Each structure stands twice: as structure tokens, then as C-alpha cells.
């Protein structure tokens, strides 16, 4: 099979996207309610944050605005996984029922085709929330607005989102082996709530665990340091883009390995 | 009326929930992670507050409160909205409606088995560990009895509320959005994520007029209060009883009215 170029995949993606949005629009109430639900989640997250930190001038050397920055950072970096990889949640159902086989017969990349089928518009609300928080915190802290800073910001936001995508891909792919992957997926989904705190609050043992074993510190903390504390950036922050790419590649391989092993249900 | 038919449902529920051991293991890991994060987060908060007592609660108080709130959540959350919504979408609800038992009652009793297993496998161990580790911070006496009464009422309020929200699915056929909205509101306004003592004054007043605080805040305060203030105890239990009756009546009425509306897809 001839390898298809990037432009081909972009064109296909846009076509599938248009179909997906059309089909979502036919369930309008569901769409509106889900969007409101998403806004609720963001508001409540924000309110909890505000209640928790309004009484305290600083926590562990992090002041309110810096915490806010971290919070916004985690929201934005979680948007890609929400928008583009939401179909991972249905994977176990497709595998269980046998419908997954339909994806195996298309002459395009299996992983790409599967993920492209759903685009979750709800994620855009979160994106707006996150950007708003970031811009506000950026101004409050008084960070410089230079092209270099913005470039760093984009690169490290991408890094952070790679890690989350990788975690979720891997968690979803476990269903090829253990059938019900919902609980693992739900667990990785909950990581996003834990990612928004500075890792320095933990004891050394857990700092190690959250960096190397369950890498939630890479979802917001390490990447954001590059922008937030440019004078003292730990080495882990600088290499986090590489870690992100490696993780993403690994999760893709695991996913594909599972899919290749898949033998259908015979129906 | 014989109790036997209900107990049969309970037994089936116990057997069903014992089937999913892997799910339980993942859930335990997830909760442990959550508790570790809660522990270090609040430790950092108390360390930076400079005083031992914040809003009338010590670090140990807050921790016990939050740990037990999580345990209570795991024990009470039955994903009723989810279950009802799915049954409505697939049409399975028709079969349940034909059963010689009221649907609301049927659903409750089929969950009761899970209540029992969850109580023994999550709540009780957590409680014992907390009581043992904190040595005497939880008073062990008559308050345990009042706590049990309070928890039973909390279960009923929580279930009725879920049932009420689940009934909305008959109209909207949207599950995810409705469920997430309910969960977010309940967890925040019941004091399950942040103890109510930390909320700003005006918000606190509002919350005491809402039914949500009867679900988590009420049983936990009863359990943790050292002074046996019978006036306060009666007010708390009385408020719970009030909401119990109101929510039960409301959910029943709304269900009766909605049943006329029902349209089911196939079956």
C-alpha cells in the first residue's frame, strides 16, 4: 500500500469532521445539555479553586496568580485529548460488540481513522476557559509578552497535551486485552484534577512517583515552569518535549499492537 | 407485604458486584492516589496558613472529613442517572416497568446489594484505618449510632435526587450532560470536595437552605462532633428528615407525571 501524504489525511479529517458535526446537530438537545454540563464542570472547578486559595496568600512558595497560571495551563493542555481523542471512550464498546472490525478494512491508518470519527466540540469551552485564565494570570504575574515567550508557551503546552493523550491512548488500548477498560480510562481522566498542583507539595517519594511512575507532573507542572520561572528551570522541564513525543509514540504502538491482535467476535 | 422479594434483589446485587474484582482494584488505586494528593495539598495549605486551626478545623479534622467524604461517595454513588438513562435509550426500561414492583423501588433494591458490599469493602476499612491512625480524634460512642441513622437518610436523599434527575432523561435523552451537571453540583455544594467551613459566609448561608449538605456534610459533622449538643443534633437530623420526605415525594410525583410522556425506542 502506498503511503498517503499529510495533505491527504488533513483532507480526509475535515470531511469526516463535517459529517460528525452534522450528525451531532441532529441530537440538538443532547448537544446543548452536554455543553452546559461542560461549562458547569469548569465553573465548579474554578469555584473550588477560588474557595480553597482565597484565604491563603501563598502555598509552598506559589502565590495565588501562579497557581491560577498552573490551573489555566492544565485546562488548555487537556483540550486536545478532549477534542480529538474522545472516541477512545467508546473503544471498549466497539471491541466488545465486534463492531471494531469495520475500522480494520479501510485503506488508511487504522488509529487515525478511528480517532478522526469523533470530534468533541465541548472541549472548546474548556479551551476558552483555560486561555482566559492563562491570559489573566499572565498579566497579573507580569510576564513579558515576547515572541520567544509565546513560542515557548505553545511548545510546552503541546508537550503537556502529548503526555495526556499518551496516557489516555494506553489506558483505552488495554481493552484489547482486558475487555473493560472503563475504570483505567476513568482513572487517567481523573489525573487531570491532580495535575494542577505544584509537585513540590509532595514528599520526595511521591515526587519521584508522580514524575517517573505516573507522570502527572508533566501534564502541567514541569512544562509550565519554563514560562513561569525562567530563571530556575529544572532539566526535566527542558527535556519534557522529548519525553512527550516518546510517550505519544509508545502509546500509539501499544494501541496498534492491540488492534492488530484483535480478531473480532465472529459476528 | 413481604420483605423477601426485596432481599432477593439485594442478594443478586451482592453477587453481581463481587464479579468485578479488577474494577474494584483499579478503584482502590484511584482512591489511594486521590487521598495522597488531598493529604499533601492540605498539608501545604495548613503549613502556609501559619496557624493550626483554620476556620475552626485542624489539619487532622479536615483530613478525616475529606477521607470519609470520599469513602461515603464511593459507597453512596450508584450511578442511578447513568443506569436510568441507558435503560431509557436502549428501551430496556419497558421490561423494568412491566415488573410487578414500582420502578423506583425496584431500582433502589437492586442497588442495595452493592450498598452492602461497598459498605464492607470500602467504607468500613477506610473508617477503621482512619479511626486507628488518628487515635481518638473520632469520638466513639453514641454518635456512631446517630451517624448510621444520618447515613441511611443521606442514602435516601441521594437516591431520590438521582432518580429525579434520571427522570429528566425521559425528556432529553441526554445522559452524559445531565449526569455531569448533577454530580458537579452535588459534590461542590454538599461539602464533599471542600468542607463547608471553608466556604465564604454568604455562600454558607445559601448552602444550608439547600438539600445537598444533608448528603455529605450532615453525617460527617455528626460523626466528628465531640460535644454532645443535642439541640444541634436534632436540627441536623430534622433537616435531613425534612429533605428525605420532600425529595421522595418530589421524585415520585415527577416520575408519575413523566410516565405519561414516555416514548421508547424499540426494546
pLDDT-above-90 percentage for chain B: 13
To the nearest whole angstrom, how far is the Cα of A2 from the nearest Cα of chain B?
41
Residue in A33, A57, A201 closest to B177 by CB: A33
B176 to chain A, closest Cα gap in Å: 7
Q: What whole-number distance in Å separates Cα of residue A122 and Cα of residue A83?
A: 7
Residue A267 counted as domain residue: no
Residue A266 within any structural domain of the chain? no
Residues of B in contact with A206 (CB under 8 A): 36, 40
Dist. CA A213–CA A234, nearest whole Å:
18
Q: Which residues are CB-neighbours of A26 under 8 A, at least 6 positions away? A: none
In B, which residues are within 8 Å of A38 by CB distance? Answer: 177, 180
The verdict on a CB contact (< 8 Å) between B177 and A37 is yes
Provide the grid cell at A35: 455543553
**Is B253 near chain A, with CB under 8 Å?**
no
Q: ipTM exceeding 0.85?
A: no
- Given an 8 Å threshold on Cβ–Cβ distance, is A57 in contact with B180? no
Asked if residue B179 has pLDDT above 90, the reply is no
Confidence of residue B150 (pLDDT cuts 50, 70, 90): very high
CB contact under 8 A, A48 and B193: yes
Which of B26, B186, B189 best tests the A interface by mutation, with the highest count of A CBs <10 A?
A: B26
A26 located within any domain:
yes
Buried b (16+ CB within 10 A) or exposed e, B52-88: eebeebebbbbbbbbbbbbbbbbbbbbebbbbbbebb
A206 to B40: CB separation less than 8 angstroms, yes or no: yes
- Whether the CB of B90 is below 8 Å from some CB of chain A: the reply is no
Q: Find, in chain B, the residue whose alpha carbon is nearest to that of A62.
A: B48
pLDDT value at position B156? 92
Name the CA dihedral angle for A184, A187, A192, A197, rounded to a multiple of 10 degrees: -130
Q: Please write down the HEC assignment for all residues of chain B.
A: CCCHHHHHHHHHHHHHHHHCHHHHHHHHHHHHHHHHHHHHHHHHHHHHHCCCEECCEEHHHHHHHHHHHHHHHHHHCCCHHHHHHHHHHHCCHHHHHHCCCCHHHHHHHHHHHHHHHHHHHHHHHHHHHHHHHHCCCCCCCHHHHHHHHHHHHHHHHHHHHHHHHHHHHHHHCCCHHHHHHHHHHHHHHCCCCCCHHHCCHHHHHHHHCCHHHHCCHHHHHHHHCCCCCHHHHHHHHHHHHHHHHHHHHHHHHHHHHHHCCCCCCCC
Distance between CA atoms of residues B49 and A202, nearest Å: 17
State the Cα angle at A45 between A120 and A56, rounded to 5°: 150
**A77 is written with which cell numbers?**
493542555
pLDDT at position B265, please?
A: 58
In this structure, the number of other CB atoms found within 10 A of the CB of residue A229 comes to: 13
Closest CA to A143 of A51, A72, A197: A72
CA–CA distances in Å: residue A17 to residues A23, A103, A105, B201: 10, 16, 20, 47
What does the DSSP assignment read for chain A? -PPPPHHHHHHHHHHHHHHHHHHHHTSHHHHHHHHHHHHHHHHHHHHHHHHHHTT-SEETTEEHHHHHHHHHHHHHHTHHHHHHSGGGGGHHHHHHHTGGGGGGGSSS-HHHHHHHT---TTHHHHHHHHHHHHHHHHHHHT----HHHHHHHHHHHHHHHHHHHHHHHHHHHTHHHHS--HHHHHHHHHHHHHTTS-GGGS-HHHHHIIIIIS-GGGTTHHHHHHHH-TTS--HHHHHHHHHHHHHHHHHHHHHHHHHHH------
B33, B45, B176 member nearest A59 (Cβ): B45
**Backbone phi, then psi, for B167, in 5-degree steps?**
-60, -30
How near does any CA of chain B get to the CA of A14, in Å? 26
- Give chain B's end-to-end CA distance (angstroms, integer): 31
Long-range CB contacts for residues A16-19, cutoff 8 Å, separation at least 24: A16/A116, A16/A117, A17/A116, A17/A119
- Total residue count of chain A as it appears in this document: 267
Nearest in space to A265 (alpha carbons), one of A63, A102, A72 = A102
Residue A46: Cβ within 10 Å count: 16
- Give Rg (Cα) of chain B: 20
Tens-place pLDDT, residues B209-238: 899 999 999 998 888 877 667 788 888 899
Enter the C-alpha cell of residue A89: 471512550
Chain A touched by B53 (CB under 8 Å): no
Q: Which residues in chain A have Cβ-Cβ distances shorter than 8 Å to B181?
A: 33, 36-37, 40
The answer to whether the CB atoms of A52 and B198 lie below 8 A apart is yes
Please give the average per-residue pLDDT across B44-55, as a whole number.
81
Query: Does residue A252 lie within any of the structural domains?
Result: yes
- A243 within some domain: yes
Q: With a cut of 80, say whether residue B262 has pLDDT above it.
A: no
Number of domains into which chain A is organized: 1
pTM for this prediction:
0.81
State whether A187 and B29 contact (CB < 8 Å). yes
Q: What gap in Å lies between CA A220 and CA A157, rounded to an integer? A: 8
d(CA A36, CA A19): 23
Q: Residue B161's pLDDT is what?
A: 92
Whether the predicted pLDDT of B194 surpasses 50:
yes
Residues of B in contact with A33 (CB under 8 A): 172, 174, 177-178, 181
pLDDT band at B264 (very low <50, low <70, confident <90, very high): low
> Chain B residue closest to A60 (CA)?
B44
Chain B residues inside the 8 Å CB shell of A214:
33
Low-confidence ranges of chain A (pLDDT < 50): 1
Q: What is the chain B residue with the closest CA to A30?
A: B174
Q: In chain A, which residues have their Cβ closer than 8 Å to the Cβ of B29?
A: 187
A-interface mutation test, from B37, B45, B69, most A Cβ less than 10 A away: B37
Band (B11; pLDDT cuts 50, 70, 90): confident
Report the chain A residue with the minimal C-alpha distance to residue B197: A51
- A·B CB contacts under 8 A: 101
Chain A: nearest CA to B219, how far in angstroms? 21
- Among chain B residues, the shortest Cα distance to A205 is held by B36
- B22 CB near a chain A CB, below 8 Å? yes
Higher-pLDDT residue of A39 and B89 is A39
Does some domain include residue A265?
no
Do residues B46 and B195 lie in contact, with contact meaning Cβ atoms separated by under 8 Å? no
CB contact under 8 A, A33 and B174: yes
| Interchain CB distance below 8 Å, B180 and A38 | yes
Q: Which residues of A touch B (CB under 8 A)?
A: 27, 29-30, 33-38, 40-41, 44, 47-48, 51-52, 54-60, 178, 180, 182-184, 186-187, 190, 194, 197, 201-203, 206, 214
Nearest CA-CA distance, residue B250 and chain A, Å: 22
pLDDT range class, residue B248, cuts 50, 70, 90: very high
Give me the domain span that covers residue A80. Answer: 6-260
Amino acid at each position: 500500500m502506498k503511503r498517503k501524504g499529510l495533505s491527504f489525511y488533513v483532507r480526509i479529517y475535515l470531511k469526516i469532521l463535517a459529517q460528525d458535526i452534522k450528525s451531532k446537530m441532529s441530537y440538538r438537545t443532547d448537544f446543548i445539555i452536554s455543553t452546559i454540563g461542560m461549562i458547569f464542570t469548569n465553573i465548579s472547578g474554578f469555584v473550588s479553586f477560588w474557595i480553597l486559595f482565597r484565604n491563603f496568600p501563598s502555598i509552598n512558595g506559589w502565590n495565588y496568580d501562579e497557581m491560577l497560571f498552573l490551573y489555566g495551563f492544565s485546562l488548555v493542555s487537556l483540550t486536545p485529548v478532549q477534542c480529538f481523542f474522545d472516541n477512545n471512550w467508546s473503544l471498549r464498546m466497539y471491541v466488545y460488540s465486534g463492531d471494531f472490525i469495520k475500522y480494520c478494512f479501510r485503506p488508511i491508518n487504522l488509529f487515525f481513522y478511528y480517532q478522526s470519527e469523533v470530534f468533541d466540540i465541548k472541549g472548546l469551552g474548556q479551551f476558552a476557559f483555560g486561555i482566559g485564565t492563562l491570559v489573566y494570570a499572565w498579566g497579573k504575574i507580569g510576564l513579558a509578552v515576547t515572541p520567544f515567550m509565546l513560542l515557548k508557551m505553545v511548545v510546552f503546552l503541546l508537550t503537556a497535551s502529548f503526555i495526556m493523550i499518551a496516557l489516555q491512548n494506553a489506558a483505552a488500548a488495554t481493552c484489547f486485552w482486558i475487555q473493560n477498560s472503563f475504570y483505567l480510562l476513568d482513572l487517567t481522566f481523573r489525573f487531570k484534577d491532580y495535575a494542577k498542583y505544584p509537585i513540590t507539595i509532595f514528599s520526595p517519594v511521591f515526587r519521584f512517583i508522580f514524575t517517573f511512575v505516573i507522570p502527572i507532573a508533566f501534564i502541567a507542572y514541569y512544562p509550565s515552569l519554563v514560562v513561569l520561572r525562567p530563571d530556575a528551570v529544572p532539566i526535566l522541564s527542558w527535556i519534557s518535549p522529548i519525553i512527550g513525543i516518546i510517550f505519544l509514540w509508545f502509546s500509539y504502538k501499544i494501541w496498534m499492537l492491540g488492534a492488530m491482535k484483535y480478531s473480532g467476535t465472529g459476528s | 407485604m413481604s420483605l423477601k422479594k426485596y432481599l432477593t434483589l439485594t442478594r443478586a446485587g451482592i453477587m453481581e458486584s463481587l464479579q468485578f474484582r479488577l474494577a474494584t482494584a483499579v478503584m482502590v488505586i484511584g482512591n489511594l492516589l486521590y487521598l495522597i494528593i488531598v493529604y499533601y495539598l492540605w498539608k501545604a495549605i495548613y503549613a502556609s496558613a501559619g496557624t493550626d486551626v483554620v476556620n475552626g478545623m485542624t489539619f487532622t479534622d479536615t483530613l478525616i472529613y475529606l477521607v470519609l467524604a470520599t469513602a461515603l461517595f464511593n459507597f453512596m454513588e450508584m450511578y442511578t442517572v447513568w443506569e436510568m438513562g441507558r435503560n431509557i435509550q436502549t428501551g430496556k426500561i419497558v421490561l423494568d416497568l412491566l415488573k410487578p414492583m414500582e420502578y423506583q423501588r425496584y431500582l433502589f433494591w437492586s442497588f442495595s446489594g452493592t450498598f452492602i458490599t461497598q459498605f464492607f469493602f470500602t467504607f468500613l476499612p477506610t473508617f477503621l484505618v482512619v479511626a486507628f491512625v488518628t487515635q481518638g480524634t473520632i469520638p466513639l460512642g453514641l454518635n456512631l449510632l446517630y451517624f448510621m441513622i444520618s447515613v441511611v437518610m443521606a442514602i435516601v436523599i441521594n437516591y431520590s435526587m438521582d432518580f429525579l434527575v434520571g427522570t429528566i432523561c425521559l425528556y432529553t435523552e441526554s445522559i452524559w450532560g445531565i449526569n455531569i451537571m448533577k454530580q458537579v453540583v452535588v459534590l461542590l455544594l454538599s461539602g464533599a470536595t471542600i468542607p463547608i467551613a471553608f466556604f465564604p459566609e454568604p455562600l454558607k448561608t445559601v448552602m444550608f437552605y439547600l438539600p445537598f449538605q444533608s448528603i455529605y456534610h450532615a453525617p460527617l459533622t455528626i460523626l466528628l462532633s465531640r460535644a454532645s449538643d443535642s439541640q444541634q443534633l436534632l436540627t441536623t437530623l430534622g433537616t435531613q428528615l425534612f429533605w428525605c420526605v420532600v425529595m421522595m415525594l418530589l421524585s415520585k410525583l415527577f416520575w408519575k407525571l413523566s410516565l405519561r410522556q414516555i416514548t421508547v425506542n424499540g426494546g
